[in-house]
Amino acid sequence: MHASTPTAPATNELQDLFGDRFIAGGSELDRVSRDESRYEPQGPALAAVFPESTQEVSAALRWANRYGVKVSVRGTGTGLSGGALAYAGGLVVSLERMNKIVRIDPVNRLAEVQAGVINAELNRAAAELGLFFAPDPASAEISSIGGNIATNAGGLRCISHGVTRDSVAALEVVLADGSILHTGARTLKNVVGLDLTSLFVGSEGTLGVITAATVRLKAIAPGTPRTFRASFTSIEDAGRAVTAIVNGAQTPEVLELLDARSVQIIEAYKPSGLPSDGCALLIGQFTGLQAEQAANDTAELCRGYGAAQVVIAQDDSLLEARRLANPALNAQGLRVSCDVAVPVGELAEVFRGIERIAEAHGRTISVVAHAGDGNLHPTVEAEDTPEGYAAAEVVIGDITRLALKLGGTISGEHGIGLVKQAELPWQLDEATLHTQQMIKYALDRKNILTPGRGI
């Protein structure tokens, strides 16, 4: 069904519902029409609304469903896949004002939050009770819990705690017709009915709008964390070291990799004494009472795989370089990024393949990776012109096909959105695509929720 253009009385109806939280133009509408992807909004939106409750989200979707208006859903706009971009004549539903931590239950290690709560703010509140929220995307200081859930975000701690789905106990979701749905339970075990919680986690706003969640918390490990940094003269050796670490007796909390180009760019952005004479930098952290021994053992393992220099610290300082990667790469003009994942045992091969692709295209490619779970973020240098971006997109396509060839996936954590929509048939067969589309149709008959993206 094609979206329609509401009449002035219909638009006034929505404005009456939201008052000064209804925006129909200007810089504020432009702000919430965008995300952090390299794509532009698909046209000027009709309006944006800023609900403060699930009931108000329900009212907005009932209105959009009645008039066949396309809806884009936005948390804080940190997504990289184009999933939150506005539609021409569409409605932007921004959840940024739904930012209350409703309750933290330390006994059951649960937190009840609205979708707009910032990841790091929940962690700071939980830390006062000796707890933490495990999902840790690099954008944790600015990304929302609702956005993390909608994209099934990953991050630095996935190797030890899994992705966001593994920390979600229950959801409150508004369907396209305005119906309010509750999934999951506060219990550790629950096998009642279909697992709708997992269905909505990672659905990227295509099946419903997540307005609130009950998420699982974990106890902060006792003892002092130990962070290590190992410099390798061969990125393939670093990849082999990662495989050995992952298969070892001690699982690190974090295991990240930066290639030589990324290290140079980060050091130029904010000098901190990173070694610049190697090909790869492996950064990891251990927590718990055995952290010191685990870090020392891993340092020896890295030396055995050719590490030229290994440093161990008693704080998070060595991780700062990894968190600076995105702003540093953006400042350098490496604008076209990719999100792929491969089996950990294929890391050495995927790094070799990316080097071959860079040589074949004559393009600079930098790679940062959540190495412990095989999730890579190659970024291609591109001139700020349509031709430059198009050439970089060809390189990204080759990297994505390489990942699939090695048994990987086209997205490890950023999601599909608009950016990767054309790549879906590369990974999913026709029957799988059809099944996803049928689920979408069952929940959104008029196809108003994030149409043409995600699935």
3-state per-residue secondary structure call for the chain: CCCCCCCHHHHHHHHHHHHHHEECCHHHHHHHCCCCCCCCCECCCCEEECCCCHHHHHHHHHHHHHHCCCEEEECCCCCCCCCCCCECCCEEEECCCCCCEEEEECCCCEEEEECCCEHHHHHHHHHCCCEECCCECCCCCCCEHHHHHHCCCCECCHHHHCCHHHHEEEEEEECCCCCEEEEECCCCCCCCCCCHHHHHCCCCCCCCEEEEEEEECEECCCCCCEEEEEEECCHHHHHHHHHHHHCCCCCCCEEEEEEHHHHHHHHHHCCCCCCCCCCEEEEEEECCCCHHHHHHHHHHHHHHCCEEEEEEECCCHHHHHHHCHHHHHHHHCCCEECCEECCHHHHHHHHHHHHHHHHHHCCCEEEEEEHHHCEEEEEECCCCCHHHHHHHHHHHHHHHHHHHHCCCECCCCCCCCCCCHHHHHHHCCHHHHHHHHHHHHHHCCCCCECCCCCC
Angle at which helices 235-246 and 347-361 pack, to 10 degrees?
Answer: 160
pLDDT band at 5 (very low <50, low <70, confident <90, very high): confident
Rg of the chain's alpha carbons, rounded to an integer? 22
- Asked if residue 14 lies in contact with residue 63, where contact means CB atoms within 8 angstroms, the answer is yes
The pLDDT, as a whole number, for residue 350 is 95
What's the CA gap between 118 and 203, in Å, rounded?
Answer: 20
Give the pLDDT confidence of 227-274 residue by residue, as tens digits: 999 999 998 899 999 999 999 988 999 999 999 888 888 888 888 788
Give the pLDDT confidence of 281-339 residue by residue, as tens digits: 999 999 999 999 999 999 999 999 999 999 999 877 778 878 788 778 777 766 688 89
The pLDDT, as a whole number, for residue 122 is 98
pLDDT for residue 2 is more than 70: no
Give me the mean pLDDT over the 57-70 stretch.
97
The pLDDT, as a whole number, for residue 374 is 95
Give me the mean pLDDT over the 61-84 stretch.
96
Give me the mean pLDDT over the 161-186 stretch.
97
Percent of the chain scoring above 90 in pLDDT = 82
Give me the mean pLDDT over the 407-413 stretch.
96
The pLDDT, as a whole number, for residue 325 is 81
Chain centroid, CA 454 distance in Å: 13
The pLDDT, as a whole number, for residue 63 is 98
Structure-model confidence comparison of residues 35 and 322, the more confident one? 35
Chain mean pLDDT for the chain: 93
Percent of the chain scoring above 70 in pLDDT = 98
Give the pLDDT confidence of 105-124 residue by residue, as tens digits: 999 999 999 999 999 999 99
The pLDDT, as a whole number, for residue 261 is 87
pLDDT for residue 4 is more than 80: no
pLDDT for residue 347 is more than 60: yes
